[in-house]
Amino acid sequence: MVGLKRCFFNWTDGHFRLVDEPTTVIVGTDANRRIEAVVRAQFANGEPVQWLPTMPTSARSFDRWKVWAAHEGILRKHKNRWYVVQNGAGGAKIDYANAKNGAVLSQISQ
């Protein structure tokens, strides 16, 4: 029986090209944090969060981000409007430098 070999290809110029093994890439993390920083700065005063043309994303991507941010505890939805959660991510302050480990700096009781 012949041994198996694993090959990786990329589609370029209408043809498959043999490439080295791809590395794992985490998509969107930096973009999500950029959007979060803009939203926290712009809407920290309690106004409803909405997309603005000056934001670093399209309106459609912003709508997807809002769902992600709600899941992460950054935003909350109330009567069809989105608001920034004042106590950080769902009441916990996250150490974003160590976010891969899920490090929580302090838990805030609500």
pLDDT digits (tens, 9 = 90+) for 28-48: 467 888 898 899 889 988 899
For 1-103, strand residue ranges (E) read: 8-12, 15-19, 75-78, 81-84, 92-94
Segment 7-36 mean pLDDT: 75
Whether pTM exceeds 0.85? no
Tell me yes or no: is domain 29-107 CATH 1.10.10.
Answer: yes
Domains of the chain, by residue range, sit at: 29-107
Q: How far apart are CA 21 and CA 7, in angstroms?
A: 8
At residue 96 the predicted structure's pLDDT band, cuts being 50, 70 and 90, is very low
The DSSP symbol for 19 reads: E
